[in-house]
């Protein structure tokens, strides 16, 4: 039912899915950045998700095979995603895509890339405005690794709390010797904690998400040498949740998926609140039994999860409502 073609743009592999039936009008255009902590994952691994969206939403889906760290150093992944986005936005006619219906999406770190690309595109006045950002269990900040979801789901597969930082370090090509210090938030100066606590804090998380064994963290040490070693964790590219209100208020409406059993759950909850506080419309879907990376199993028959199917169907319904 789909025409699928592979091409490269500025060395970045793309796979483009379009319905075979002739378009009755202009279609939606959806960019998809896959998860994998910026260090693994591929177009092929997310084939089923992209096919499903293309068919169910009668849309053109562009799956972006950004090059992976550490071989392709950070922040190259963002430039790859941006190159793919600019190529697509400049060639909408060829794909019969409506410039008013462009959706930027991704899961996990791919959702982080989608968030950052939406922020970067605000400065590009010559391009169509993005209609919506679709963020599936996004990771959006490297400021606080003691949020309730980090504590509650520290040992929940597939993404353990320590594994988050292991991947962050691999992605940024850092020595893992200070991993434990960063887990304790020793990398954040007091001034930054104070500045950002209105946006990143357990106090903002609704109480119903704290009942599963959350213990507020006592005030922590600050180690300047640790901060110096991993300061990229606090840059806006890595932590788009820390962007200023003047940027957040201009962003397109959002669809955010969070999973209960996910260390990154609270990143999604905090971003939802930030967007809403800035007058941006948010549609939120919370999977009560979902876990991080659940969509990696989508479409694999007996190995897939009902929660994953529900997430995909809710996502498709949202895109079709635009």
* Sign of the C-alpha dihedral computed for residues 60, 320, 283 and 167 taken in this order: negative
State the total domains in the chain. 2
Instruction: Indicate whether 137 and 248 sit together in one domain.
Output: yes
Domain boundary among 166, 198, 231: 231
Compute the distance between CA of residue 164 and CA of residue 145 in angstroms, rounded to an integer: 9
Q: What is the value of pTM for the model shown?
A: 0.97
Catalytic residue among 107, 262, 266, 267: 262
Q: Which of 231, 261, 291 is the last residue of a domain?
A: 231
Active site residue 59: no
Same domain, 277 and 246: yes
What pLDDT sits at residue 179?
A: 96
Same domain, 313 and 189: no
State how far the alpha carbon of 218 is from the alpha carbons of 41, 184, 221, 303, in Å.
37, 10, 10, 41
Whether 10 is a known active-site residue: answer no
Catalytic residue among 108, 239, 287, 307: 108
Q: Which domain holds residue 159?
A: 148-231
266 is an active site residue: no
pLDDT in tens, the chain (322 residues): 999 999 999 999 999 999 999 888 999 999 999 999 999 999 999 999 999 999 999 999 999 999 999 999 999 999 999 999 999 999 999 999 999 999 999 999 999 999 999 999 999 999 999 999 999 999 999 999 999 999 999 999 889 999 999 999 999 999 999 999 999 999 999 999 999 999 999 999 999 999 998 999 888 899 999 999 999 999 999 999 999 999 999 999 999 999 999 999 999 999 999 999 999 999 999 999 999 999 999 999 999 999 999 999 999 999 999 9
Per the residue annotation, which of 80, 187, 292, 307 is the catalytic one?
292
Q: Are residue 38 and residue 136 in the same domain, yes or no?
A: yes
């Amino acid at each position: 039912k789909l025409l699928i073609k592979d091409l490269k743009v500025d060395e970045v592999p793309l796979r483009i899915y379009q319905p075979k039936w002739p378009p009755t009008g202009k279609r939606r255009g959806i960019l998809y950045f896959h998860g994998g902590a910026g260090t693994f994952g591929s177009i092929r691994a997310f084939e089923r998700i992209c096919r499903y969206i293309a068919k169910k939403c009668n849309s053109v889906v562009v799956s972006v095979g950004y090059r992976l760290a550490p071989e392709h150093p950070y922040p190259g992944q963002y430039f790859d995603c941006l190159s793919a986005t600019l190529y697509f936005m400049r060639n909408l006619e060829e794909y019969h895509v409506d410039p008013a219906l462009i959706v930027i999406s991704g899961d996990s770190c791919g959702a982080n890339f989608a968030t950052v690309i939406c922020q970067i595109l605000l400065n590009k006045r010559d391009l169509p405005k993005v209609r919506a950002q679709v963020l599936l269990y996004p990771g959006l900040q490297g400021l606080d690794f003691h949020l309730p979801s980090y504590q509650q789901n520290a040992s929940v597969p597939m993404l353990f709390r320590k594994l988050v930082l292991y991947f962050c370090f691999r992605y940024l090509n850092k020595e893992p010797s200070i991993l434990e210090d960063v887990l304790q938030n020793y990398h954040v100066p007091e001034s930054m904690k104070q500045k950002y606590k209105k946006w990143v804090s357990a106090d903002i998380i609704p109480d119903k998400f704290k009942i599963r064994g959350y213990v507020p963290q006592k005030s922590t040490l600050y180690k300047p040498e640790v901060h110096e070693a991993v300061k990229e964790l606090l840059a806006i590219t890595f932590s788009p949740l820390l962007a200023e209100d003047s940027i957040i208020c201009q962003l397109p409406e959002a669809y955010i998926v969070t999973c209960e059993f996910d260390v990154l759950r609270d990143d999604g909850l905090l971003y939802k609140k930030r967007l809403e506080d800035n007058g941006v419309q948010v549609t939120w879907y919370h999977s009560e039994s979902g876990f991080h990376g659940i969509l990696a199993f989508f479409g694999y028959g007996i190995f897939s999860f009902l929660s994953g199917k529900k997430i995909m169907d809710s996502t498709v319904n949202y895109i079709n409502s635009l």
